[in-house]
């Protein structure tokens, strides 16, 4: 079993919502019944809602396939099957703090995990002031404005 997660963000703003994609997969060699997928939200994430995304999964979504708060479900995965879960939560923290969110998958009793190094995935982002971008372009004195971009295109 293996798990991966990301929100495709480099920084977050307090009060903003962020969407995590969590993918749990089974590379084999055997099917797994009853693996436990858990994502306990840290204090810096509130009002969590999650759902299995059947259109982006190759296995059948568990029951329940959606919920609020922490993600904690049992999944069944055949060899080379995967499930995608989307987890939406609101950032609740001070500027300078980090949102560190970890998802884990554990195999059921009687099943041996071949590689426990990929049974956990963490996404970490700093909380920054509103209006600040993590790439630093907002501080550039040569920022490209819309009129400047049009002029550059017209010259080419």
All domains in the chain, ordered by first residue:
2-128 (2.60.40.1530)
Model pTM score: 0.81
Q: Cα dist. 97→67, 118, 126 in Å?
A: 27, 26, 6
The contacts of residue 94 (CB under 8 Å, 6+ apart) are: 14, 127
pLDDT in tens, 61-110: 999 999 999 999 999 999 999 999 999 999 999 999 999 999 999 988 87
pLDDT in tens, 28-58: 889 999 999 999 999 999 999 999 999 999 9
Q: Is the dihedral of CA 80, 86, 92, 93 positive or negative?
A: positive
């Amino acid at each position: 079993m293996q798990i991966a997660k990301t929100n495709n963000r480099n920084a977050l703003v307090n009060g903003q919502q962020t969407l995590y994609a969590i993918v749990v997969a089974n590379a084999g060699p055997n099917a797994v019944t009853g693996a436990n997928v858990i994502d306990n939200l840290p204090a810096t994430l509130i009002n969590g809602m999650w759902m299995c995304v059947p259109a982006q999964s190759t296995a059948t979504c568990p029951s329940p396939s959606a919920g609020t708060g922490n993600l904690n479900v049992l999944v069944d995965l055949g060899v080379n099957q995967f499930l995608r879960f989307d987890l939406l939560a609101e950032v609740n923290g001070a500027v300078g703090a980090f949102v560190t969110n970890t998802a884990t998958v554990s195999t059921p009793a009687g099943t041996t995990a071949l590689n426990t190094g990929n049974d956990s995935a963490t996404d970490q982002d700093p909380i920054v002031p509103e209006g600040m971008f993590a790439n630093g372009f907002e501080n550039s004195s040569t920022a490209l404005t819309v009129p400047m971009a049009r002029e550059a295109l017209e010259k080419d």
